[in-house]
């Protein structure tokens, strides 16, 4: 099972890289992007990445599908200003690496997360405003997929849900590190729907843009959002 779960992550990296590359080259339509996201979810489900939120397996699978797609799109939408998605991924993966080390996790996952952390650190040196390179969909899709898989394995699946109060507690606890990107996608979606705009078409109404208007500095805005995630 451990080997299968790691192989699932490897295939997830390959599929997300291909999908991201196609999106950068062909500018895929939203439904096509969603199709690739469902393929990623299917691979992770096959590998055993199911969130045990209830005693009903079918509901757990449905919730896992919704949650992974939410994380993927939230991180993609959060990549709207230089350094935002990179810093979020750095903080989240560092947190997950610490958990892996404390739990004596499989060495493959420790090496995998460490490799991504090293890549992100170097990437951020050239991605802060004014950036010389950009993450793009090939980066955000891959990072979101990896973060989803690793967080399910070492956060959700490590807890036992018996009482209803425990389920609510762990539901909130396991999602708190994602609260900034979830809040961002929620507010942006509500704003676009309220103004009768397509929720899949980008604009400048994200949390980062609001902070830039206040601080007049993209760097300060990103640091504030990253600081909240770190807390």
> Comparing 26 with 124, which gets the higher pLDDT?
124
Q: Is the pLDDT of residue 13 over 90?
A: yes
Residue 130: CB atoms within 10 Å: 7
Tell me which residue of 105, 94, 129 sits closest to 216, measured CA to CA.
Answer: 129
Average pLDDT on 175-191 reads 89
DSSP string, 154-198: IIITTS---SHHHHHHHHHHHHGGGHHHHHHHHHHHHHHHHTT--
Pairwise CA distance, residues 80 & 12, whole Å: 24
Q: Please, what is the end-to-end C-alpha distance for the chain in angstroms? A: 34
Are 116 and 146 in contact by the 8 Å Cβ rule? The answer is yes
In which residue are the tokens 């010389």 written? Answer: 132
d(CA 223, CA 229): 10
pTM of the model: 0.88
Q: Is the confidence at residue 119, as pLDDT, over 90?
A: yes
Question: Which residues touch 192 (CB under 8 Å, ≥6 apart)?
Answer: 198, 199, 201, 203, 205
At residue 208, the pLDDT reads 86
With cut-offs at 50, 70 and 90, classify the pLDDT of residue 160. low
Close Cβ partners of 183 (under 8 Å, ≥ 6 residues apart): 207
Query: Is pLDDT of 19 > 70?
Result: yes
CA dist., res. 86 & res. 139, Å (int):
9
- State the average pLDDT over residues 144-173: 82
For the residues 35-58, what does the mean pLDDT come to?
91
pLDDT value of position 101 = 92
Residue 4 class from Cβ within 10 Å (0-12 exposed, 13-18 middle, 19+ buried)? exposed
Cβ neighbour number for residue 51 with a 10 Å cutoff:
23
* pLDDT tens column, 59-103: 999 999 999 999 998 998 888 888 889 999 999 999 999 999 998
Arithmetic mean of pLDDT over the chain: 88
- Whether the Cβ atoms of residue 177 and residue 148 lie closer than 8 Å to each other: no
């Amino acid at each position: 099972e451990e080997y299968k779960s790691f192989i699932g992550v490897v295939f997830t990296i390959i599929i997300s890289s291909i999908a991201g590359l196609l999106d950068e080259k062909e500018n895929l339509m939203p439904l096509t992007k969603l199709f690739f996201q469902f393929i990623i979810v299917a691979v992770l489900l096959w590998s055993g990445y199911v969130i045990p939120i209830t005693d009903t397996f079918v509901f757990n699978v449905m919730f896992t599908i919704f949650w992974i797609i939410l994380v993927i799109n939230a991180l993609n939408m959060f990549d709207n200003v230089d350094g935002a998605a990179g810093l979020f991924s750095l903080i989240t993966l560092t947190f997950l690496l610490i958990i892996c080390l404390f739990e004596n996790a499989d060495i493959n996952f420790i090496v995998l997360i460490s490799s991504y952390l090293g890549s992100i650190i170097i990437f951020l040196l050239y991605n802060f405003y004014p950036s010389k390179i950009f993450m793009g969909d090939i980066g955000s899709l891959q990072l979101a997929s990896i973060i989803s898989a690793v967080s399910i394995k070492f956060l959700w699946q490590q807890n036992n849900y018996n009482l209803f109060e425990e389920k609510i507690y762990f539901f909130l606890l396991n999602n708190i590190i994602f609260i900034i990107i979830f809040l961002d996608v929620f507010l942006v979606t509500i704003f676009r729907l309220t103004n009768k705009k397509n929720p899949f078409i980008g604009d400048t109404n994200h949390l980062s843009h609001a902070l830039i208007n206040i601080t007049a500095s993209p760097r300060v805005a990103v640091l504030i959002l990253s600081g909240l995630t770190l807390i």
